[in-house]
Amino acid sequence: MECETELSAGTEVEAWVYPPDYDWPLKIERAIVRWTKAAEFGLEFLRIQPAHKERLRLVLNGKNLGPRT
């Protein structure tokens, strides 16, 4: 992921992921920053609702989620 705000490893965050061309974002309720490199960072997801988890899986696998805006 990328962020304009500098984050440190170990920081807990709530994240909203906005897949391109789709109506609504994915909410990651609780995540922890595991690594950083400049404006990039990696997250471990600690809490995500099942519907958002399934949608995230589809996005990461490049599946069409339905109507695009």
Q: Which two tokens stand for residue 69?
A: 């805006």
SS3 18: coil
Q: Residue 68: its pLDDT value, please?
A: 46
Q: Residue 65: its pLDDT value, please?
A: 54
Q: What is the pTM of this model?
A: 0.72
Q: Residue 23: its pLDDT value, please?
A: 80
SS3 33: strand
Q: Are 46 and 52 in contact (CB under 8 A)?
A: no
Digit-coded pLDDT (tens) for 5-60: 888 999 999 999 888 767 888 899 999 999 999 889 999 999 999 988 988 888 88
